[in-house]
Structure 1
């Protein structure tokens, strides 16, 4: 990322990278499931006393699955948005707001980082 992009803070110029610790699968239908290990003292407590699972399975919707599969660590969000628009058309509207929020959520859970 150039210095100009870093200073401008344009979220769409950010390049998402999938976290290596997240295991994931793609079903025949094309939907993605993320397998996230629940680690830490609170998770161990919940697993032992409330029978919570050691691994959570997060099922992405069709658009989220499509985007997840496109994340390659080289394309920025703006570039990814062009592919989403081509595939989903008006169904993706409002495109930039939805993608920005989607990536914010993925980042907040540690599923992705940014270059």
Structure 2
């Protein structure tokens, strides 16, 4: 089987650089460029914010992305940490990786060979 077509063998790499970890949870920071949102926030005297705080499981997956581990490698770590079957972990992680990839927060640098 050709690993190039196996999404679990892709190696994710974080592309969004504005984030921090606090109390084990990752928060992603975004600049608001939408003039409507800026105006609305000005009306209510609040700073415009579109920050995203990841839950525990998503934070741990985010922190495991190091540009070296494949999705499969990360799913093994997650399965062990949360005491779940590897297939459930892979399914959940692939769904998460596709979502954050479509948002442009990560990219895939290579396909890891077995």
What TM-score range do you get, normalising by the shorter chain? 0.7 to 0.9
TM-score (norm 1): 0.79
User: 1 or 2, which has the higher helix percentage?
Assistant: 1
Encode CA deviations 1:79-105: one digit per residue, 9 max, x unaligned: 111110111112887211110110011
Q: Deviations over 1:61-87 (max 9, x none)?
A: 111111111111111100111110111
Q: Deviations over 1:29-73 (max 9, x none)?
A: x1111112233xxx123322x228544221111111111111111
Structure 1: runs of 5+ lacking an equivalent: none
The Cα RMSD (Å) is: 2.2
Hey, what does 1:51 align to over in structure 2?
41
User: What is the CA-CA distance between 1:24 and the residue it aligns to?
Assistant: 1.1
Structure 1's consecutive aligned runs of 4 or more residues displaced over 6 angstroms after TM superposition are: none
Name structure 2 gaps, 5 residues minimum: 110-114
Contact 1:22–1:36 (CA under 8 A) maintained in structure 2: no
Partner of 1:26 in structure 2? 21
Is 1:10 the equivalent of 2:6? yes
**Counterpart of 2:112?**
none
Question: Which one scores higher on RCO, CA 8 angstroms, separation ≥ 6?
Answer: 2
Question: In 1, Cα distance between the equivalents of 2:78 and 2:88?
Answer: 11
Aligned residues: 104
The residue matched to 1:69 in structure 2 has which SS? Answer: helix
